[in-house]
Structures are given as structure tokens and as C-alpha cells.
Structure 1
């Protein structure tokens, strides 16, 4: 019987360039597929040479997925450049966030192996109407039930978001203007990029309460720390709210445990943080016996959303039941574990 924990540990080792070892290769690849990390796994194993230790069919499959993802990323890069150019013509320098940043900044011959689901760009509130008009001129349209603008020929949805406030109280620093090949964009400093990943997963999507792990985003944070460096201590003390700080420390503890990223001792000091980290790892490695923990976390997240009137109570009765079921039984899990 294949243990989920064995596949999890082998995938993390592979992402660090280590050999997968005696784990079931098919189970590891299945988990990589689920977490959208298959191209990144291939790249890490190829750089270290550990790819040669895999069976030939596994090497060929990983290489095929990696090559397909590179072709898709080339299309995403062209789509992003076209959108930025259109916005620039209207006097708008969009703010890039999440996966759009490495796609824009990387040379074409060194595009990241990251699987990117959509393109996220932000504009100021006063620019939003003009931004939508410029994108509509390119053929983009809003689609019912889809958060973002789409065209049939594109590889990804383009999500146009309002810019987040910056300043000491928010923890987000002012972005800097970046020019590349005549395109002008805004890019957040590395600390703000890291904070955005953490808050998106642990607070916005509730992973801190639900005990879930987005391993792809953890891998993003690890690469950010290794390539650009992140002052984790400055990041964690930038927000005064204790719950937010606990969420940040929980993610930092996972970064240290999985990818050996150096963090301050304060991040692992709190018993609450250590328990949250243990809970996330335990349910990831033991999904069956850890199910009660996951259900308790889902109940806590659902109760928090109801208490905050986070859109649930405004839903129709049928819609409310569906959303509650999605939360309780992890139907909305997507690529998380």
C-alpha cells in the first residue's frame, strides 16, 4: 500500500534536486500533477542529474509535460506583453502580481518552469474603466461565472484586479517601475511579493484554519528566497495583527521544514504556530486518519466566514448549502493538499 506521506516527502526531495529514492515513482508524479509541480520537478531533477535515476518512461513523461508547459508559458508571455502594450498606450503601467512577474521579467530563453493558471494584473481604481476598454479592444470579454477576461485564442484568463493599498499599515511596499523591451509595468518589491503569496493562501483562502498546503506556492516562496532574498523578520513584524503574524510564521516554518530556507527563531517560537505546522503536515501525510482534523479546520473556517458576513449569508439557500458542502468536504481543494 502506497503511503501518501512517502509520496509527499519524495516530491519535496525531488523539488530540492534530490533523488526520489525508493518511493513509488507513479505516486510521486501523480502528486506532482495534482499540485501543478510536474515541470518544476523535472527542472530540479534535470539540474541535479537525479533525473537519470528514474525509469525511462518516467523521464520521458516528465520531460514531455515540461516541454508542453514551456510552450504554454511562451504563449502566456506573448499574451501578457500584448495586454501590457495595450494598457501602456492608454497611459497605464499595470502592476503585475504572482506568476505574471517571472513571466514578464525572465529572458525568453530562461522562462520559469512554473505552471501558471492565469495572468494577474492590477490597476488603480481611477484607471480601471480605461483598462477594461483597452482590453476589450483586443477582443477580451467578461464571461458569466468566470472571474476575469477571456479570449478564445488565449492560453489563460486575464484577471484585472484593483491595486492593493501600500504603506506601513498594510505591510506592502510601494512598487517600482520596470521597463523591458519598451513595455512599462510596476513590480512589487520582493518582500511584498512574498507577503502576497502568504496572505492569499493562508488568510484569503483559509489554509491557516483549514490546515491545507499549497505546495506550489511554497515552492514559489522558496525560489524567491533563494534567488532574490527575503527579509523574513521584517516581513513578519510588518503587520501588527497576531493572527496574521501566526499565519506568516506557520508558512515560514513550512518553508524551513520542506526547503531548508533560513528563518528567524521567533517564527518557530509560538506553540500555536508549531501546532498549526504539525496539523498541516500530518493531514498532508495521513489524509485518512487526519480527516477529523481537516473537518474541524473546515468548520472553523466556515464559522469565521459566517461571522464576518463574508458573502455566505447573502447567497441563496441552495447556493449557501452548496458552498458549505464545498468547504466542509474540501470540494474546492483544487491543487492543494
Structure 2
């Protein structure tokens, strides 16, 4: 089965509509690569379509979903423990990305989203105290990675400094005696977009993080996102082009309603076409992907993101990791 057909069948499954005569081995391989296997099962189960799948496919998806559920329950307990120790020191952390729905989930029920870490932010003046609190729980910095971990846990915990944005302030949420701050939906959407398209370079490299795109689609369904205000908040023309390219992908894969003007600029339409083409034709689209990697590398060097201070061996390792590690992207 071609990558394009497998991608089409996976998207249909995430909509709760299993495709007839799908090559489920190829679909599952793509779902595993993009970290969407548990979401595929839960989407089909909610739609009452899970029994339409072949028995072995259904049982495999059920098994992965069950394992991920147990992992997320452990992550949820880990998150609550970290929030509790921070609260005792007067710190109310800001939850980011997957930590938000994980904290808000009811007891015994957790999101099906596959996660590898927990992201929290505190005010700059609270970082030292917050780090000491987590070290008191046994957390230690992980060599070669951003984050802290304990051997007994299901995932790492990444503590960072919170940054202001142009949207509404975070909302204070109290649950079971714990206090956290939840960013508004606009901020959460912008965080995902800026992280993937600009920080990870997906806009230049022609890549798509399908799991994050699925997250954005679900966020748009549950909250009234103002895409126009997001566009206005972008720092420059490149950032606005990147956002509109992501909006076109949202509409293409998940039918999300977006402003009509998002598709007006030629560069945006070309970037959207390039991402879809390389996602569905990874072999013949390889030259486009290589050109994008080179463009992103040039952009990074032009802004000296700490690369000039790297030793040659470290720089080569980072280049190789950047070019050859797909990181669950398509």
C-alpha cells in the first residue's frame, strides 16, 4: 500500500470511518510512527466502528490503547505529585501541551493521546525553588536531554520558565486540592504551531507532525479559536506564512474551518502542496525534503542559535540527528 493510501486510511479512521479494503499493516505502521495508534482505536470505538475491523487488527489496537491508558494513568499520578509539591512551596505551575488534558481528566479516565513527557512552566523567579522541590522528590537532570526524570516513572518532566503572550492570561484551576494555571486555547494553539513550524523547522523542511495537527483539530472543535487573531500575533511575514500553511493542513486532513484568506498567498499554497506531496510520496519527494533541510539549516545558522559555539563533532552529530531522525513526522 502506498504511503498516500495509508495516510488517507489513517485519517479516515481518526474521523471514525474505517476505509474498506485498507491495508491495515501499512495503516498501523503509519499510526505507530506518528504516535496516533491509541487515538485511532478511541476514534473508531467512539464512532461504534471498531468491530468493522479485522479481528487481529482490532485486538492489536485494543492492546496498544490499553497499554497507553495505563501509561497515561501513571503520568497523571506523576503530574499530580509534582503539582502538589510545588503548591506546598507556594508555586502554581502553568501546564503546557499534553499536561493540560491529563490534569483535567477525571479519575480513572485519561486522554488517549500518546505522551512521553510532562511540560510545566513557572515564573522566572520561581525556577530555583521549583527545581529544588522536584529534586526533593528524586528527580535528576537527564544528560543530553531537556528535562528531569526518575527511574520509576513513565516519562520525563520538563520544567521551563513561563513567557508572556498577547492573549488572555492563564486561568487558575483548582481540582482535588491542587492549583494549576491553564493557558487559554489561543496560547496553546500558538505554542504547538510555533514549536513545530519554526522551532522544529517543519515549515522549511516540509514535514508534518500529524499528532500535533490532530491535537489542534480537537482543540478547534472544543474551543472557539480565533485564527485571525493568531495570524495577527505572528512576529513577521515568515511566521504568518507558516501559520497559514498549517491552517491549510488542518483543513485538508480534518476539515477544520479556517479563514478564506489563509490560502490566498502563492507561497502558502506552494508550501502546503510541498508538505502534502512529500508526505504522500516520500521517495520521489526526497529532493524537496533535502532542499527544505538545507534551507532550514541556512536559516538556523544565520541566526546563530548557539551553533557557532558547538565543537565540530557536536555540530556534526546535531546535523545528522536533524536530517535523519524523523521524530514521528511525515
Q: Give per-residue Cα distances to partners, 1:106-158, cap 9 Å, x unaligned.
A: 21243110001100000111000000111111111112212111111100100
Matches for 1:32-71 after TM superposition, within 5 Å: 32-71=31-70
* Paired position in structure 2 for 1:261: 256
* Paired position in structure 2 for 1:198: 193
Q: Give per-residue Cα distances to partners, 1:265-304, cap 9 Å, x unaligned.
A: 0111111111111100100000000000000000000111
- Is residue 2:234 matched to residue 1:239? yes
Is the CA contact 2:73–2:108 (under 8 Å) kept in the aligned structure 1?
A: no
Match of 1:36, SS?
A: coil
State the alpha-carbon separation in 2 of the partners of residues 52 and 25 from structure 1: 14
Matches for 1:1-337 after TM superposition, within 5 Å: 2-167=1-166, 172-327=167-322, 330-337=323-330
Moved more, 120-129 or 232-241: 232-241
For structure 1, which runs of at least 5 residues remain unmatched after alignment?
none
Is the CA contact 2:277–2:285 (under 8 Å) kept in the aligned structure 1?
A: yes
1:146 and 1:238, CA in 2 relative to 1: closer, same or farther beyond 3 A? closer
Q: Give per-residue Cα distances to partners, 1:153-180, cap 9 Å, x unaligned.
A: 100100001101223xxxx432111111
TM normalised by structure 1 equals 0.96
State the alpha-carbon separation in 1 of the partners of residues 156 and 220 from structure 2: 28
Is the CA contact 2:9–2:27 (under 8 Å) kept in the aligned structure 1?
A: yes
State the alpha-carbon separation in 1 of the partners of residues 68 and 151 from structure 2: 19
Deviating 4+ runs (over 4 angstroms): none
State the alpha-carbon separation in 2 of the partners of residues 187 and 173 from structure 1: 11
For structure 2, which runs of at least 5 residues remain unmatched after alignment?
none
Match of 1:313, SS?
A: helix
Is the CA contact 2:33–2:328 (under 8 Å) kept in the aligned structure 1?
A: yes
Moved more, 50-59 or 95-104: 50-59
Match of 1:177, SS?
A: strand
State the alpha-carbon separation in 2 of the partners of residues 150 and 240 from structure 1: 34
State the alpha-carbon separation in 2 of the partners of residues 221 and 251 from structure 1: 10
State the alpha-carbon separation in 1 of the partners of residues 290 and 11 from structure 2: 25
Is the CA contact 2:165–2:187 (under 8 Å) kept in the aligned structure 1?
A: no
Could you tell me how far 1:311 is from its partner in structure 2?
2.1
State the alpha-carbon separation in 1 of the partners of residues 302 and 233 from structure 2: 26
